[in-house]
Structure 1
Amino acid sequence: MPTQQIRITMQEGVAEAVLAAPAGAMPKAGVILYMDAYGLRPAMEAIAERIAAEGVAVLVPDTLYRGGRFGPFDARTGLKEEATAKIIRAAMAATTQAMTQADTASFIEALTAHGVTGPIATTGYCMGGARALNAAAAHSGRIVAAASFHGGNLANDAPDSPQRNAARIKARVYVGSAGIDGSFPPEQSAKLAEALRVAEVDHAIENYVGMAHGWCVPDHSVYDREGAERHYARLKTLFAETLGN
């Protein structure tokens, strides 16, 4: 699976990124993968390569680039170590949802520059889940599908919470939630479902019983192979039905 390390010139700096694509001609359809809180690293690249094997180009940008290259950090211990947790939380707080929504225009341009001229989907993990959904709201003319896996704070009281942008989403939405996840409890799931239903967004919210927050990511302490394979199957269906790959 050919993978390129690329750099994207942004309004506020330079974002390192990985671009994964099948061998041969660049696919017309693309996916933007919004990383989790531990940075751009081999685990994120592995997910991108697995998705790209379905016939799409996958861009994984460093969304927390504003302070320079972010991380990477060890997903098994990152938030358990006080010093590292402080760095991670500060970087996340400094990069707002609105910033990532604006940055997504540059991510789309980067895909286009590499030959992706067709529809685009998003998928996000952990902190990337909300960003993937909000990106779809901000770029509804190009993004046709959006997925979130163990995404947190998808329907809280924050003004930039994804459920508040439901009316702007034209994409098909899939949300895979961890069985027990304090960052996305049942009341948030119900609130998000109601907002998407009222906005007439084609969506599905699925509870992965027995899975913990982070189960999809191969270097995470709670990685679950069976659960990860299930997530790939859901993405394969979502992208086949929306990207036409």
Structure 2
Amino acid sequence: MAKQDITIKTADGTVPAGLFRSGSGSGTKAGVILYMDAFGLRPALDGMAERIAKAGYVVLVPDLFYRFGDYGPLDAKTAFSHPDTKEKIMGMLTETTQAKVKEDTRHYLETLAENGATGPIGTVGYCMGGKFAIGAAAYYPDKVVAAASFHGGGLANDDPDAPHRLADKIRGRVYVGAASVDRSFPPEQSTKFADAFRLAEVDFTLENYKGMQHGWTVPDHGVYDEGGAERHWQRLMTLFAETLDAPRAG
């Protein structure tokens, strides 16, 4: 497994990112963008990216908080327990908007192509990254053929560019894994999301993970659940195998 620490230029600055690939395979490759949770780039996300890359994909993990300079490291277990750290994270979350990440994603797609991922692209996002993973499928439908969100927040809130408002732009497949206990994606949002995606005739699945809490998939979270995480991996890798590996017309 090979990881490269790279930087990506955008209109707003320079994005630190990790690029992961297995080194096996030849010819056109599919790529994956992993949109981070609220605690930044760290070994836990590296391990998750490596697991995806071992399936033969080129995986990019960008630092979505690059506009804020040196903000870390952040401890996923304790960061929200300290008022100062919590306020800092919440400020970065608020300022990292769908519109900004939309523009950044154009550069992420170019970076993947430059590094051999010239085929279809999948996205996956955790926590704050969930809405960006789905947003990428809406804004770049010619490239992003699969998008997954796990314990993603604000998927159907009042924001003008919340994912449920983007459903009619999506042509790929979407999977949403929701924690049964999650204030950032309560039942009323779940219903609104499902209704919007059904009306737009999107090929989507919204699955409730009974007993899981927000953050259950990421190994360094205090609510990490090994069984629930493995279920998430099965769903994610099946989605990518059925969309990124399948022969495509044309």
TM, length-normalised to structure 2: 0.95
Q: Do the aligned partners of residues 146 and 69 (structure 1) sit closer, same or farther apart at CA in structure 2, a change above 3 Å counting?
A: farther
Letter in 1 for 2:175: Y
Q: SS of the residue aligned with 1:159? A: coil
Structure 2 residues without counterparts, runs of 5 or longer? none
Shift in Å, 1:96: 1.0
Distance 1:106 1:177 in 2: 29
Match of 2:5 in 1: 5
Alpha-carbon distance between aligned partners in 2 of 1:32 and 1:219, rounded to the nearest angstrom: 20
Q: Percent identity?
A: 56
Letter in 2 for 1:15: V
Residue by residue, what CA displacement relative to the aligned partner does 1:173-193 show, whole Å, maximum 9, x if unpaired? 000000111110111111101
Aligned-partner Cα distance in 1 for 2:229–2:156: 24
Structure 1 residues 59 and 81: alpha-carbon distance in aligned structure 2, compared to 1, 3 A threshold: same
SS in 2 for 1:179: strand
* Partner Cα separation in structure 1 for residue 25 and residue 107 of structure 2: 22
Task: Tell me the residue number matched to 1:144.
Answer: 145
Q: Deviations over 1:219-243 (max 9, x none)?
A: 0000011111111100111001100
1:18 aligned residue: 18
Letter in 2 for 1:224: D
Report if the CA contact (8 A) 1:7-1:16 is conserved: yes
Instruction: Measure, in 2, the Cα distance between the counterparts of 1:106 and 1:158.
Output: 24
CA–CA distance in 2 between the matches of 1:24 and 1:185? 42
SS at match of 1:211: strand
Q: Which runs of 5+ in 1 are unaligned?
A: none
Alignment of 1:32-181 (within 5 A): 32-181=33-182
Q: Counterpart amino acid of 2:124?
A: T
Query: CA–CA distance in 1 between the matches of 2:143 and 2:195?
Result: 24
Q: State the TM-score, normalizing by the size of structure 1.
A: 0.97
**Kept after mapping to 2: 8 A contact 1:15/1:69:** no
Contact 2:24 2:56 in 1 (8 A): no
